[in-house]
Amino acid sequence: MSKKLKIGLFGFGCVGQGLYHVLNKSTGFKADIKKIVVKNKGKDRKVEPELISYDKWEILNDPEIDVVVELIDNADDAFDIVSEALKRKKHVVTANKKLLALHLEELYRLQEENNVSLLYEAAACGSIPIIRTLEEYFDNEELEKISGIFNGTTNYILTKTINEKLSYETALKQAQEQGFAESDPTSDVEGYDPKFKAIILALHAFGLIIKPEEVLNIGITTLQDEDITYASEKGYKIKLTPVIRRLEDNKVSVFVLPRFIKAANQLYNVDNEFNGVIVEGVFSGEQFLQGRGAGSLPTGAAVLSDVSALSHGYRYEFKKYAQKHVPEFTNDVLVTAYLRYNVAEDLGQLPFEEITERYSGGKYQYVVGRINLRHLISRRAYILENKLFICLVNEQVSLHERVQQTSGKTELVSY
């Protein structure tokens, strides 16, 4: 029989209000929010005044509160709250993907030491139950890859650029007016948000804990009309896609880049604020999950799902993190990409291993070919400062090959 939980809630913004709404409308599960801690004292909130507090210790020191739900924006403040709650042996539910990506190892250790649960389904892909899927369905199967659309804001912008031929700037402004993008959209449009989510999923899919600074993220801020035209003429849509892929020699590569998507791909028709996740298992093959990637009620429902799971004693088992043969993370891989550049010097800064397509006409120049991911990492600032646009042509990733001389013959060797 499930236990009726008492909740201490931090934050009452979009997601916090969504949780409050779905919790009060839920018929199959009941829990009480005992206290809501907020920061802004001057804001009007449509809840009972006695629920509101401005002191975090009213929740952390309350022995009746079983579950701390953390739904604030600031990752540093969130870490202080979550780590303190775990030390006080309270279960925690969070939707803060940056907090998790920055502190996965320490938070894993704290929940183990204190024998409590830390759940965070809402931190990755909104209403799509991808973490629970990886934990429960794929816990004993080796995976080949996870890819998809993890960010609703950029997907909305990119949908408008292709479907309605809007410029990037116009589509971004529209996304802000619709409430899909923040006034400062940096985390979304520069690819930080989907990177944090990819790091979280890499733990549950492959048992890897990766530092965010090791993972490349290049977003869509340098997208121009010429790139949109190129995609349309080729029959592509542009999507911002994290790629988490197993390679030879038990290695895994993780990165975030824009990508050209063909009509045959399941992600092609995932538009507007929706997210889609593709998981490929060695034995089960390819699975596809789609759902709303953002919004008050979908994300609130994902938080409530975690709270409900806690009432039944659920916790992540992290089976792949505990296994003996955890893969090795690598950035030394080749990807096939389109690069729209300005001058010949740009190609000198970004040396392609091979070029299969080239165009130069007036102000618009591009190449398509294979390039080492390490070059993109080392030249990330150069790409952004000079407004170059880099986009995957496919999601094929291979270990870098080097040429070695053997008995007078040249051979390609993977490593």
Give the active site residues: 197
CA atoms within 13 A on the CB side of 265: 23
Q: Is 382 exposed, middle or buried (0-12, 13-18, 19+ CB in 10 A)?
A: middle
Report the distance separating Cα 303 and Cα 131, nearest Å.
Answer: 12
For 127, other C-beta atoms within 10 Å of its C-beta total 22
Contact 5, 311 (CB under 8 A): yes
Q: What is the dihedral of CA 202, 206, 212, 214, to 10 degrees?
A: -130
Q: What is the dihedral of CA 325, 330, 334, 340, to 10 degrees?
A: 140
307 DSSP assignment: H
Hey, what are 222's tokens?
């340098």
Residue 410's beta-bridge partner residues?
Answer: 405
